[in-house]
Structure 1
Amino acid sequence: MRLFFDAAPFRARSLRPAALLGALLVTATLAGCANDKDVLPPDEPAEKIYNEGLTLMRKGDLDGAAKRFEDIDKTHPYSEWARKALLMDTYVYYEAGKYDDAVAAGKRYLALHPGSQDAPYAQYLVASALYDGIPDISRDQRRTRQALDALDDVIRKYPNTEYAAGAKRKVEVARDQLAGKEMMIGRYYLEQRNYTGAINRFKVVITQYQTTRQTEEALMRLTEAYMAMGIVQEAQTAAAVLGYNYPDSPWYKDAYKLIQSRGLEPQENKASWISQSFKKMGLG
């Protein structure tokens, strides 16, 4: 899912009189500030700089490529080459693993060129940079939520593109990550015998992340927590729903043994929030 780069010369549109006047004023201003070392006068054609950036990128010099693309933004800020260079900056930063820079460049591109034909790709790069920067499950998952939001934007705004298909695959991984975080905290509460706190965490998995691989364990842990609290009917329901939807799961075997150890059998209470949650998803 790579961008195909067109290095052919870009033919600029004719400037309208007002725009031409503005361009002349800019030129005059630059000439008057020639001694300002922060100003980079447009001595080189934008196309030449752009192609140099592409050459450096293909050689693997991503930092050098990013610098050349940035030069276009400084020396030819209102050109079509600047638009293309900003997109390339996003791509190069992403390839270099500089995800924060890729996100910043991509968001700037989308703010300046929301209707561009390359906007879907820019949005996908932003989402991918956030996704690839997802932290370890033991850390704060704010970035994972940001990645999920950005991926959802790709799917919602550009549903018929190849980027939407790629985003959907990444969404499932991101959702599993968030569910895994809830499970980690829930298990900790369970070990501390804070059963209410544990149940609340497992409930999030069941109600918000039910299609993830964490669901089976969440149902087993609900069985365990409810049994420890003496809320037998809910424990039986969790075990019954687990067995109905995942009959071959090792988590169901554990839940079944736990219920049987009390002389009981898994039995679903269809009025339970657990049963109702699965019915809403069409799984129960």
Structure 2
Amino acid sequence: MTYLWSNVMRKAARIALVSSILAGAGLGMTACQSDPDIDITKLGVESESSEALYNQGLANIKAGNLNEASRKFDAIDRQNPFTEWSRKALVMSTFTKYRQGKNDEAITTGNRYLSQYPRSDDSAYVQYLVGLCYSRQIADVTQDQRPANRTIEAMSKVVKDYPDSEYVEDAQAKIRFARDQLAGKEMQIGRYYLERKEYLAAIQRFRNVVEQFSTTNQVEEALARLTETYYAMGIVEEAQTAAAVLGRNYPDSQWYSDSYKLLQRGGVEPRENKGSWISRAAAKLAGA
């Protein structure tokens, strides 16, 4: 939070007074206030200028009044859309909603900002906030992993579109975590099939991990499960190959120790078949 807040304050400090915007806003407010028949609160219109509303929003964030801060920033965007103040308010609105845990609202606001201002100085920051909101929604591997996919998509944009930004390192960390979650989901399903002796379905899931998520920490178990599954099917050569690749890349792994013992009980040892898909995929493994 300290990291994000320091970024927010630094960005807020860059705002310069745009006289034409404030003059227009001031005229609009004067017209409303001069009419005694208009109840401004019922109309949902703030009586202050955009500059005043923006500063009030910042003050409310500092005071911990996030609901009020969000209301101030949203009022700027609603009353003076497509202005410099509105642009800055959208950044702050995204941040405030993120801080409130209103992830879907923050994502919607952030994506609107990115659609309207794709090349602004704050685009990298807003894209990063959108990624953080998706990352927050990642559940354990027994649950739907769509937020993990969306985290990867959002954070990959940070890395690709803003390679020099200060958010790249953490974006890459969030991508690694999300990919590990997706690999974990594949492992969970694969184990489910293995327990029910649906071996072909299990192999496909473990293969997905080895081929598509080769840099995750799920690979060791995936190779061990492939050893176990192929051995149970009587496809010993593939079981030997999976164990050999596991041993070469993770020689101190408990998964390798267990796989080695399994093969020994059948009178064979790990031995790599270079023509196997497992051998071909081995070049991409995290431990290679």
2:232 counterpart of 1:228: yes
Partner of 1:45: 49
Aligned residue among 165, 169, 173 for 2:173:
169
Cα deviation per residue 1:139-159 (whole Å; 9 max; x = unaligned)?
Answer: 111111111111111111111
- What is the CA–CA distance in structure 1 between the aligned matches of 2:15 and 2:175, rounded to whole Å? 38
- One of 65, 73, 80 as aligned partner of 1:76: 80
Identity, in percent, stands at 47
More helix by share: 2
User: Which whole-Å CA distance do the structure 2 matches of 1:43 and 1:28 have between them?
Assistant: 11
Output the CA distance in 2 between the equivalents of 1:270 and 1:231. 16
Q: Cα deviation per residue 1:16-36 (whole Å; 9 max; x = unaligned)? A: xxxx9xxx99x999x999579
8 Å CA contact 1:34–1:41 kept in 2: the answer is no
Of 18, 27, 38, the match for 1:12: 18
Equivalent position of 2:264 in the other structure: 260
Backbone CA RMSD of aligned residues? 2.7
Distance 1:260 1:155 in 2: 46
> Structure 2 CA distance, aligned partners of 1:164 and 1:273?
34
Instruction: Give how far 1:162 is off.
Output: 1.4
Aligned residue for 1:65?
A: 69
Letter in 1 for 2:56: E
C-alpha displacement of 1:266: 0.2
User: Comparing 256-265 with 274-283, which one deviates more in the overlay?
Assistant: 274-283
C-alpha deviation, 1:38, in angstroms: 7.1
Alpha-carbon distance between aligned partners in 2 of 1:36 and 1:160, rounded to the nearest angstrom? 45
1:118 alignment partner in structure 2: 122
2:166 is the counterpart of 1:201: no
**Cα offset for 1:79?**
2.3
Write the letter of the residue equivalent to 2:150.
Answer: Q
Alignment of 1:176-255 (within 5 A): 176-255=180-259
Unmatched segments (≥5 aa) in structure 2: none
Return the letter of the residue paired with 2:225.
R
Question: What is the CA deviation profile of residues 155-214 of structure 1, one whole-angstrom value per residue up to 9, with x for unaligned ones?
Answer: 111112111111011111100000000000000100000000000000000001011110
Name whichever of 184-193 and 145-154 sits farther off: 145-154
Q: Which amino acid aligns with 2:219?
A: T
Within 5 Å, which residues of 2 pair with 1:273-284? 273-280=277-284
* 8 Å CA contact 1:220, 1:252 repeated in 2: yes
Which of 76-85 and 105-114 deviates more? 76-85
Once the two structures are superposed, residues 95-127 of structure 1 have per-residue CA deviations (whole angstroms, 9 ceiling, x without a partner) of: 111111111110011011111100000000001
Shift of the 245–229 alpha-carbon distance from structure 1 to 2, 3 Å rule, reads: same
- The C-alpha deviation readout for 1:40-86, integer Å capped at 9, x for no partner, is 55631111111111111111111111111111112222321111111
Contact 1:102 1:126 in 2 (8 A): yes
* Alpha-carbon distance between aligned partners in 2 of 1:8 and 1:209, rounded to the nearest angstrom: 42
Residue in structure 2 matched with residue 270 of structure 1 by the alignment: 274
Q: Aligned in 2, Cα 1:75/1:216: closer, same or farther, shift over 3 Å?
A: same
Amino acid in structure 2 at the alignment position of 1:87: V
**Cα 1:28/1:78, change in 2 over 3 Å:** farther
Structure 1 residue 280, shift from structure 2 partner: 4.6
Indicate the larger mover: 131-140 or 1-10.
Answer: 1-10
Please tell me the residue identity of whatever aligns with 2:248: Y
Change over 3 Å in CA distance of 1:229–1:10 after alignment to 2: same
Q: Which amino acid aligns with 1:80?
A: E
Q: 1:266 to 1:84 in 2, by over 3 A?
A: same
Unaligned 5+ runs, structure 1:
none
Question: Is the CA contact 1:10–1:81 (under 8 Å) kept in the aligned structure 2?
Answer: no
